[in-house]
A and B are shown apart, each in its own frame.
Chain A
Amino acid sequence: EAEVAQSPRYKITEKSQAVAFWCDPISGHATLYWYRQILGQGPELLVQFQDESVVDDSQLPKDRFSAERLKGVDSTLKIQPAELGDSAMYLCASSFSLNQPQHFGDGTRLSIL
């Protein structure tokens, strides 16, 4: 079982609805990442935090996606409204600091109907 905790494990929702994912990184890890993985492809970085600050959100579709890490510990990724193309695995990872090996959670599999 992954040390990075993510919930829920699975989420099924209808398009136009709001959806949220939660991630609790390894204790003491300052850097937190959210990735999206489409079936058959490698993960793609959506957003990266260093403590509570966003370091890189260049690939985050900001019209519908938002991410926060208010106290620099756990984090939430939200999609509103969800679209059919958002169906994917959403992975959270953490590392002790920048450029250190990343530890991944087991992800949330999102299906949009």
Chain B
Amino acid sequence: DAKTTQPNSMESNEEEPVHLPCNHSTISGTDYIHWYRQLPSQGPEYVIHGLTSNVNNRMASLAIAEDRKSSTLILHRATLRDAAVYYCILRGNSGNTPLVFGKGTRLSVIA
């Protein structure tokens, strides 16, 4: 399975933007970059995914490097509710490809 590397933890002030990095230097051409997050005492929640172009949705933006070896999840205005573990996952799109979770980045949001 293609591997991702994320910082163990990050901290942000409320109402400020947050940039969560992910390195994936061994990404293959058909791997999509998926982000999930897990709030305390809840199951993971899908955030966003992309292949090559930057993506935006109501929850976040995903910025993908031109060489695709890294990506950044951007929360435009962090709230206390965004405190969670954020997982960056590579997933192929052919056949049946599982989600392989690492340890993720634990984001703390300070009021």
Binding site for B on A (CB under 8 A): 2, 4, 40-45, 48, 50, 55-56, 91, 93, 98-99, 101-107
Contact = CB atoms under 8 A, between A and B. Distances in A.
A55 B96 contact: yes
A98 B96 contact: yes
B43 A42 contact: no
Contacts of B93: 99
Nearest to A40: B103
Interface residues of B, number: 23
Interface string B30-52: 00001000000111111001000
A5 B97 CA distance: 24
A101 B101 contact: no
Contacts of A91: 43-44
B43 A107 contact: yes
Interface of B: 34, 41-46, 49, 85, 87, 91-93, 95-104
25 contacts: A2-B43, A41-B103, A42-B85, A42-B103, A43-B99, A43-B101, A44-B101, A45-B100, A48-B96, A48-B98, A56-B96, A56-B98, A91-B44, A98-B96, A99-B96, A99-B97, A101-B49, A102-B44, A102-B46, A102-B99, A104-B42, A104-B44, A104-B45, A106-B41, A107-B42
Given A56-B96, A99-B93, A99-B97, A106 B102 contact: no
Binding site secondary structure of chain B? loop
Nearest to A6: B43
Contacts of A93: 43-44
A50 B98 CA distance: 13
Given A42-B104, A56-B98, A103 B46 contact: yes
A113 B96 CA distance: 37
